Chain A
Amino acid sequence: MRESASPGQQAFERFWRRAAVRGAVIVLAALLLVGIYAPFLANEIAFLWVDRQGAHWPLFADLFNRTSYPRPHDLLFNLLSLLVPPLALVWWLLRRRLGIGRRLALCLGVVLIAWLLAMVPLIPTKSGWSAVWAHRPLSPFTSIEAHAGTAGSDVITAIFAPIPHRCDATYPGASLLPPGSINKATGTHFWLGTDDIGRDVLASLLFGVRISLSIGFVATGLSLLIGIAVGGASGYFGGWIDVLLQRLVEVMMCFPTFIIILSVVAMIGPDIFVIMLVIGLTSWAGTARLVRGEFLHQGVCDYVAAAEAIGVARWRIIVRHILPNTMAPIIITATFGIAGAVLSESGLSFLGLGDPTTASWGVLLEQGRENIRYPWLIYAPGIAIFVLVTCLNLIGNGLRDAFDPKST
C-alpha cells in the first residue's frame, strides 16, 4: 500500500482488493444497467422499423409515453437510459483533467442539455412554427403514427428487442407456461415461463430491477436524511435536545418496523410511493444512533474547537466539518439499509400487499406461493432478490472491513 495515499484512497484500495467485493460491485452495476435499459431488452415495440418512408425508431418514441409507462419511476429510468451514454463519455474524457467537483458540475450540465434536447420533439406545434415543423428531420422521438400518416407502410426491415414481450402485457392462452415454451400468438419464446395471468416472467424480472432499486434508494435516502438530522442534532447539541431525541430513537428502536409498515400500507392502499415513504420513515433509528455516536466522538476533536474558535457558523461546522468525517459508517449502514428496504418491499408484495399494478419481484413470488406447483414462479424472482441482497451485503461488509480494518 502506498504510504502517500490519503486514508480514503487506502480504504478504497483495501475495499477493491477483495475478489468477492469486486464481483458484487460488477454484478450490482450490471443490475443497474439492466434496470435502466429494461425497455430496450424487453419490449413489444420495434427498436428500428424501416419502411418506404425511411427509418423509424418507435421504441424511442414510446419511452416518454405516459400510457406505456404510467409510473413516474419508469420515466425517470427511461430518461436515465438516454443520459447514461453521454454522461459516461464526459466522465471518461475528463478523467485526468478536472477534479471531481468540476466533473460533477459538467455532467449535470450535460444532463440538463440532453434533457432539454429530449424535450424538443415534445413541444406542441404552434401555428407560426408549423412550416418548419412539417419539414423537420425524422427524429427518433416522434411516434410512428406521425410518420405513417400519408401512405400505407410496407415494412422493409424491423429490429426488435431480444425479449419481444412487455412486462405488463398479458398474453391470452399463455397462463402458467413452463420456461422455454412458445408464445402461440407471435411464435416467440417465454424463456422463464409465464405467470398465472399470462405475463412474461423474464420481462417482469427485468422491470422489477427498477422497482427494487428505486425503492431501495429512495427509502434509504429518506431514512438517512432523517437519521443524520436527528442523530447529528442529538450528538452535537447535547443537553435536553439529546435526551428528547434519544427517547424518540429508543421508541423507534423497539418498533416492530415490518408490522407498522404492513398496517400503514394496508390502510392507505398499495402504492409504490407509499411503500417507499413508510419504509423510509420507520427505518432511521439505527442511523440516528450511529450518527449520534460519531458526532459525540468527533465533537470533542481539536479541529471542531478550532473551527468554533475562528467563528465558523454552527450549521457549517456540522455540515462541512463533522459530517464528512462521519461519512464512512453512514455509507456502510446505507448499503445494508438498501438491502433491508428491498427485502421489506418484497416481503410486503409477497404477502399480497404490494402494488399489484407493478411487476415487482415480490408480486411474482407471491404468485409462486399461490401456485405452489409451478417452481419457476418461485425460483426466478427469489434468486433475483437473493442476488441483489447478497451483492449489497457483500459491498456493505467490504466497506466495513475497508474503513475499519481492526474489526474483521
Chain B
Amino acid sequence: MLSYTIRRLLLMIPTLVGILIINFAILRLQSASLTQSMQQQVGNQEGASASHQVRSQASYSAIENHLARFVRTGNNLPALINVRGWLDKDDVVALLRQAASPTSKPSVRSQAQSTLWLLGHFGVEPLEEVIADDSLVDLHGQASVALTLDAYVPLNIEDLKYMSEQRQDDIRVRNGELRKYRFPAGRDDPDYAEKRAKLLALCERDKKEFAHTSAAAWGALLRETGICDFFYKLFSGNLYSETRGDYVFHLIGDRWYVTFWLNLFSIIIAWCGSLLIGIRSARTNGSLEERVATSSLFILWSVPSFFLGTLMLHHLCTNGADGRAWFPNRGLESDDSLWLTTPAFLWDLFYHACLPMTVLCYASFTSLSRYVRGNLLEQLQSDYVRSARAKGCNEDQVTYRHALPNSMITMITLGSGLLADLFGSSVIVETIFSIPGLGLLLFDAAKNQDGPLIMGSTVISVLLLLVGILIADLLYAVVDPRIRSKYA
C-alpha cells in the first residue's frame, strides 16, 4: 500500500510540472502584449513629434513605469536561457543601428528597441563603451536612453522590505540623476557634452554594481531567467497581484476552502444520489419507471449548467411581485451570520448553498447513475451472482453484498474524473451566485488580465484536484484487493 501511494505521488510530479510550464507560457503570452502596449504608447508620442527622435520626459516616465511593472512580474528576463552576460559593444552597436535605421521595418525597430531597454544591468557596460566612443556619435542619443533605462532600478515592495534605508535613498538619487542625464537628441541636445560627461562619470562611480564577470554571466545563464523567477516567486509565495494589491496566496488563503467544501459536498451528494438511482434503475430494468427516469435524467444532462443557474437566479432568487425571493441570490451566508447560533448558522449556510450545489452536481447524477446501472446489470448476469442465487441468497443480499461492491470500483475512478469537471463548473457557478471562492477569484483575475493571480489560483486548483485524484486512487486500492496484492 505504501509503495502504491508513493508511485501515485511520483506520477503526479509530471502533471504538476506540465501545468506549471503551461502556466508560465501563459504568463509570457501576457508579457508579449505588454511590450506591444508599451510600444504603442511610445509610438503615439513618436507620431506627435514626427521628425526628430526626441521624446518628451512624460513618455520616458511611462516607459519607466512599464519597466517597473516588468521587473515586478519578472517579465523583463528572457524566458529560458539568459545569454545577456556575453553581450559586447559590437552586439549593442548592431542593435542600436537596427533601432535607429529608418529603412528597417517598424516591427524590427521596435523589437530592437525593446530588447535594448530590457537588457538590465548587463546592458550598462557595453552601452557605456558606445557612449565613450567618439566615432559612434550618431548612436549616442539612442544609447544614452537605453543606458539610463537599463541602469534604472525600479523599487518594488519586496526590495523596500529587505533593503536598508541608505541603499533605498542611494537608488532613488541615482534614478533621478539618470533621468536628468539622458540626451535623446544626441549631439543636437544643448547640454550634450555636459550630460555625456556626467553620465560617464556616474557609470564610472557605480562601476562595481554594473560590472559583471564571466562567472556572473554563467550564473545568470539559467538563474536570471523568467521561468526561474516565476518558480521562485511561486514557491516562496511572493506572487503579487497588481489589480488587487495583495499577495496572491493571501487572497487564495481566504477563499480556497469555500470552493473545496462546495465541491466536496457536491461530489458526495452526486455520488450517493447516483448510486441510489443507479441501483434502483438496475433492479427495475425495463419497467416504465426506469425508462422515464433514464430519459428525464438524459434531458437534464443536456441542460447547460450556466443556463440552469441563470434560470434559477431569474425564477428563484429575484424578488417577484410579492417582493420576496425564494432563495438568496448572492454569497454563502447572510449579512448577520456572525450573530447566529450554530444550528441557525448551519441552516443559513445550507439555505445559501442549496442552489449552487444543485447546479454543480445535477449533471453528474446522469453520467454516474448510468455507469452504475450498466455495471450493476453486467454484474447481476455474471456467474458468481448466479451461484449466490443458487445458494439461496435473496435479491437484496445478491445486490448489496455481491454485485454492488464490484461495481463500486468503476464508481471511484469516475469520481476522480468528475473532480476536474467540477472545478471548471465551479467558476461558472460561483460567478452566477457571487460566491467568494477560488472560481470567482479566477474569473475576476481573467477579466482583469491579472497574470500572477490567474497562475496562483490555477496552481491551487490543480493541487486540490490532484489531492482529490490521489484520494480516489487510494480508495481504489482499498476497494479492489487485486491492486493491493499487486503492490504489496
Contact = CB atoms under 8 A, between A and B. Distances in A.
B230 to A, nearest CB: 14
A259 to B, nearest CB: 6
B231 interface: no
14 contacts: A247-B11, A250-B15, A251-B18, A253-B420, A255-B420, A260-B458, A267-B29, A346-B304, A351-B427, A369-B306, A386-B307, A394-B298, A397-B298, A408-B374
A378 B311 contact: yes
A378 B310 contact: yes
Interface in A226-281: 247-248, 250-251, 253-260, 262-269
A267 B449 contact: yes
A334 interface: no
Nearest to A387: B302
B301 interface: yes
Given A266-B447, A351-B443, A343 B304 contact: yes
A390 B14 CA distance: 37
Contacts of B303: 386
A248 B19 CA distance: 11
Contacts of B306: 346-347, 350, 362, 365, 369
Contacts of B377: 408
A352 interface: yes
B449 A256 contact: no
B29 A268 contact: yes
A363 interface: no
Contacts of A386: 302-304, 307
B324 to A, nearest CB: 16
A100 interface: no
Contacts of A266: 445-447, 449, 454
A375 to B, nearest CB: 6
Given A255-B19, A267-B30, A369 B374 contact: no
B301 A257 contact: no
Given A247-B14, A251-B14, A369-B313, A257 B302 contact: no
Given A258-B424, A386-B307, A408-B374, A372 B318 contact: yes
Contacts of B443: 262, 351
B332 interface: no
Which are the 9 A-B pairs with shortest beta-carbon distances? A258-B424, A266-B446, A382-B307, A390-B302, A251-B18, A350-B306, A251-B15, A256-B423, A263-B454
Nearest to A407: B374
A258 B426 CA distance: 10
Contacts of A372: 310, 313-314, 318
A10 B462 CA distance: 45
B427 A385 contact: no
B321 interface: no
B220 interface: no
Interface in A355-408: 362, 365, 368-369, 372-373, 375, 378, 382, 385-386, 389-390, 393-394, 397, 407-408
A224 B29 CA distance: 26
Contacts of B461: 256, 259
A103 to B, nearest CB: 34
A368 B299 CA distance: 22
Contacts of A269: 33
A353 interface: yes
Contact of A393 (B30, B301, B431, B432): B301
A325 B194 CA distance: 81
B129 to A, nearest CB: 39
Nearest to A382: B307
B465 interface: yes
A386 B421 CA distance: 19
Nearest to A261: B424
A369 B445 CA distance: 19
Given A257-B420, A267-B29, A386-B307, 12 more contacts: A250-B11, A250-B14, A254-B420, A256-B462, A259-B423, A262-B443, A263-B458, A264-B26, A362-B306, A365-B310, A368-B314, A372-B313
Interface of B: 11, 14-15, 18-19, 22-23, 26-27, 29-30, 33, 298-299, 301-307, 310-311, 313-314, 318, 374, 377, 417, 420-421, 423-425, 427-428, 431-432, 442-443, 445-447, 449, 451, 454, 458, 461-462, 465-466, 469
B307 A378 contact: yes
B424 A256 contact: yes
Contact of B447 (A259, A352, A368): A352
A265 B250 CA distance: 25
Nearest to A390: B302
Interface of A is mostly: helix
Nearest to B455: A263
A262 B427 contact: yes
Nearest to A375: B314
A254 to B, nearest CB: 5
A64 to B, nearest CB: 31
Interface of B is mostly: helix
Contacts of A248: 18
B374 to A, nearest CB: 6
A258 B425 contact: yes
B311 A254 contact: no
B454 A257 contact: no
Q: Which of B23, B310, B423 has the most CB of A within 10 A?
A: B310
Contacts of B445: 266
Nearest to B318: A372
Contacts of A393: 298, 301-302
Contacts of B305: 347
A60 to B, nearest CB: 36
Contact of B427 (A259, A369, A407): A259
Contacts of B423: 256, 258-259
B309 to A, nearest CB: 9
A390 B445 CA distance: 32
A262 B304 CA distance: 17
A257 B424 contact: yes
B18 A385 contact: no
B442 A267 contact: no
Interface string A190-226: 0000000000000000000000000000000000000
Contacts of A259: 423-424, 427, 442, 458, 461
B446 A263 contact: yes
A389 B447 contact: no
A251 B20 CA distance: 11
A264 B29 contact: yes
Nearest to B329: A372
Contact of B428 (A253, A265, A347): A347
B299 A390 contact: yes
A99 B27 CA distance: 53
Contacts of A369: 306, 310, 313, 432
A391 B27 CA distance: 38
B318 A373 contact: yes
Contacts of A264: 26, 29
A351 B305 CA distance: 12
Contacts of A254: 15, 420, 462, 465-466, 469
A407 B410 CA distance: 15
Contacts of A256: 420, 423-424, 458, 461-462, 465
A247 B423 CA distance: 22
A407 B14 CA distance: 35
B22 A382 contact: no
Contacts of A268: 29
Contacts of A343: 304
B437 to A, nearest CB: 13
B451 A385 contact: no
Nearest to B313: A372
A350 B428 contact: yes
